Amino acid sequence: MALTREQKLELYYYMRLTRSLEERLVNLYRQTKVTGGLFRSLGQEADAVGAAYALDKSKGDILAPLIRNLGAMLVRGAEPTEVIRQYMAKGDSPTGGRELNIHFGGIERGFIGQISHLGDMVPVMAGVTLAAKMRGENRVGLVFVGDGATSTGAFHEGINFAAVQRCPLVVIVENNGYAYSTPVSRQTAAKSFVDKAIGYGVPGEQADGNDVLAVYDVTKRAVDRARRGEGVTLIELITYRRKGHAEHDNQSYVPAGEIERWAAENDPLDRFEKVLRGEKVKAAELRAIDERITAEIDVATDTADASPMPEPTDALRGVYADPPRVPPLWFRQDVHSAVDKNERAAGWGTYDA
Amino acid sequence: MPEVTYLEAIRQALFEEMERDVNVFCLGEDIGVYGGAFKVTEGLQVKFGESRVIDTPISEIAIVGAGAGAAHMGMRPVCEMQFMDFVSDAYNVLTNYVATARYRIGLGCPMVVRGPIGGYVRGGPFHSQNPEAAFFHTPGLKIVSPATASDAKGLLKAAIRDDDCVLFFEHKYLYRRIKEEMPEGDYVVPIGKARTARSGTDVSIITYAAMLWKSLEAAEIMQAEDGVSVEVIDLRTLLPLDDEAIVETVQKTNRVLIVHEDTRTGGIAGEITARINETCFEWLDAPILRVTAADVPLPYSPPLEDYVLPQTSDIVRALRRIVAY
Contact A157 B57 (CB under 8 A): yes
Say if residue A325 is exposed, middle or buried (CB neighbours under 10 Å; 0-12, 13-18, 19+): exposed
Q: Is pLDDT of A337 > 90?
A: no
Amino acid residing at B216: L
| Window A:131-160, CB contacts with B under 8 Å | 131-132, 134-135, 153-154, 157-158, 160
The pLDDT of residue A338 is 60
Instruction: Name the helix (H) or strand (E) containing A18.
Output: helix A5-30
What CATH class does B195-324 carry? alpha beta
Report pLDDT digits (tens) over B189-200: 999 999 999 999
The pLDDT of residue B322 is 98
CA distances from A222 to A80, A109, A111, A279 (A): 29, 21, 18, 27
Q: Which residues in chain B are closer than 8 Å to A134, comparing Cβ atoms?
A: 25, 51-52, 70, 75
> Which residue out of A108, A129, A133, A157 would a mutagenesis test of the B interface target, given it has the greatest number of B Cβ atoms within 10 Å?
A157
Say yes or no: do domains B3-181 and B195-324 share a fold.
Answer: yes
CA nearest to B270, candidates B284, B250, B282, B256: B256
The pLDDT of residue A342 is 46
Rounded to the nearest angstrom, the minimum Cα separation between B38 and chain A is 23
Mean pLDDT (whole number) for A257-267: 97
Task: Render B262-308 in DSSP notation, one character per residue.
Answer: EESTT-HHHHHHHHHHHHHGGG-SS--EEEEE-SSPPPSSHHHHHHH
Report pLDDT digits (tens) over A279-312: 999 999 999 999 999 999 999 999 999 999 999 8
Q: What angle do CA B77, B79, B84 make, to 5 degrees?
A: 155
pLDDT class for A348, splitting at 50, 70, 90? low
**Which residue on chain B is closest to A316 by alpha carbon?**
B103
Contact A188, A151 (CB under 8 A): yes
Rounded to whole angstroms, the Cα distance separating B190 from B158 reads: 6
pLDDT class for A344, splitting at 50, 70, 90? low
Rounded to whole angstroms, the Cα distance separating B109 from B74 reads: 9
CB atoms within 10 A of CB A293: 20
The pLDDT of residue A322 is 85
Rounded to whole angstroms, the Cα distance separating B156 from A150 reads: 36
DSSP H helical ranges for chain B: 6-20, 44-48, 60-72, 91-92, 99-105, 132-136, 149-161, 211-221, 243-253, 268-280, 302-308, 312-324
The pLDDT of residue B1 is 75
Q: Which residues in chain A are closer than 8 Å to B161, comparing Cβ atoms?
A: none
Measured distance between the N- and C-terminal CA atoms of chain A, rounded to whole angstroms = 63
Contact with chain A for residue B278, Cβ under 8 A: no
Q: Is pLDDT of A345 > 70?
A: no
Query: Which residues, 6 or more positions from B234, have their beta carbon under 8 angstroms from its beta carbon?
Result: B147, B148, B151, B194, B195, B196, B197, B207, B208, B212
Rounded to the nearest angstrom, the minimum Cα separation between B108 and chain A is 8
Q: Is pLDDT of A343 > 60?
A: no
Domain edges within chain B: 3-181, 195-324
Contact B69 A103 (CB under 8 A): no
Task: Render A51-117 in DSSP notation, one character per residue.
Answer: HHHTS-GGGT-EEE--TT-HHHHHHTT--HHHHHHHHTT-TTSTTTTSS-TT---BGGGTB----SS
pLDDT class for A329, splitting at 50, 70, 90? confident
What 3-state DSSP class applies to B33? coil
Rounded to whole angstroms, the Cα distance separating A220 from A235 reads: 11
Contact A75, A52 (CB under 8 A): yes
Report pLDDT digits (tens) over A203-224: 999 999 999 999 999 999 999 9
Rounded to the nearest angstrom, the minimum Cα separation between A8 and chain B is 32
Q: In a structure prediction context, what are the per-residue pLDDT tens digits for chain B, which is 325 residues long?
A: 789 999 999 999 999 999 999 999 999 999 999 999 999 999 999 999 999 999 999 999 999 999 999 999 999 999 999 999 999 999 999 999 999 999 999 999 999 999 999 999 999 999 999 999 999 999 999 999 999 999 999 999 999 999 999 999 999 999 999 999 999 999 999 999 999 999 999 999 999 999 999 999 999 999 999 999 999 999 999 999 999 999 999 999 999 999 999 999 999 999 999 999 999 999 999 999 999 999 999 999 999 999 999 999 999 999 999 999 9
Rounded to whole angstroms, the Cα distance separating B160 from B114 reads: 10
Pairing of strands A182-183, A178-179: antiparallel
Rounded to whole angstroms, the Cα distance separating A236 from A173 reads: 5
Measured distance between the N- and C-terminal CA atoms of chain B, rounded to whole angstroms = 46
Question: Dihedral angle at the C-alpha atoms of A26, A31, A35, A37, nearest 10 degrees?
Answer: 40
The pLDDT of residue A63 is 98
Rounded to whole angstroms, the Cα distance separating A333 from B6 reads: 48
- The pair phi, psi for residue B214, each rounded to 5°, is -70, -35
Taking CB atoms within 8 Å and a gap of at least 24, the contacts of B38-47 are B38/B7, B38/B116, B38/B172, B38/B175, B39/B7, B40/B7, B40/B10, B40/B11, B40/B14, B40/B80, B40/B170, B40/B175, B41/B11, B41/B14, B41/B80, B42/B11, B43/B11, B43/B15, B44/B11, B44/B14, B44/B15, B44/B18, B47/B15, B47/B18
**Which residue on chain B is closest to A102 by alpha carbon?**
B105
**Which residue on chain B is closest to A94 by alpha carbon?**
B105
The pLDDT of residue A323 is 78
Mean pLDDT (whole number) for A239-258: 95
CA distances from B153 to A61, B149, B168 (A): 37, 6, 11
Contact A326 B139 (CB under 8 A): yes
Work out how many CB contacts closer than 8 A connect A with B.
143
Contact B104 A126 (CB under 8 A): no
Contact with chain A for residue B51, Cβ under 8 A: yes
The pLDDT of residue A332 is 80
What's the CATH number for B3-181?
3.40.50.970
Q: Which domains does chain A have, with CATH numbers?
A: 5-306 (3.40.50.970)
Amino acid residing at A209: G
Q: To the nearest whole number, what is the mean pLDDT of chain A?
A: 94
The pLDDT of residue A328 is 80
- The pair phi, psi for residue B204, each rounded to 5°, is -110, 140
CA distances from B304 to A102, B44, B116, B294, B308 (A): 52, 38, 21, 11, 6
Q: Which residues in chain B are closer than 8 Å to A325, comparing Cβ atoms?
A: 240
Rounded to whole angstroms, the Cα distance separating B231 from B252 reads: 9
The pLDDT of residue A351 is 57
User: Which position has the higher pLDDT, A197 or A342?
Assistant: A197
Contact A117 B25 (CB under 8 A): no
Question: Dihedral angle at the C-alpha atoms of B56, B62, B67, B68, nearest 10 degrees?
Answer: -170
Contact A115 B100 (CB under 8 A): yes
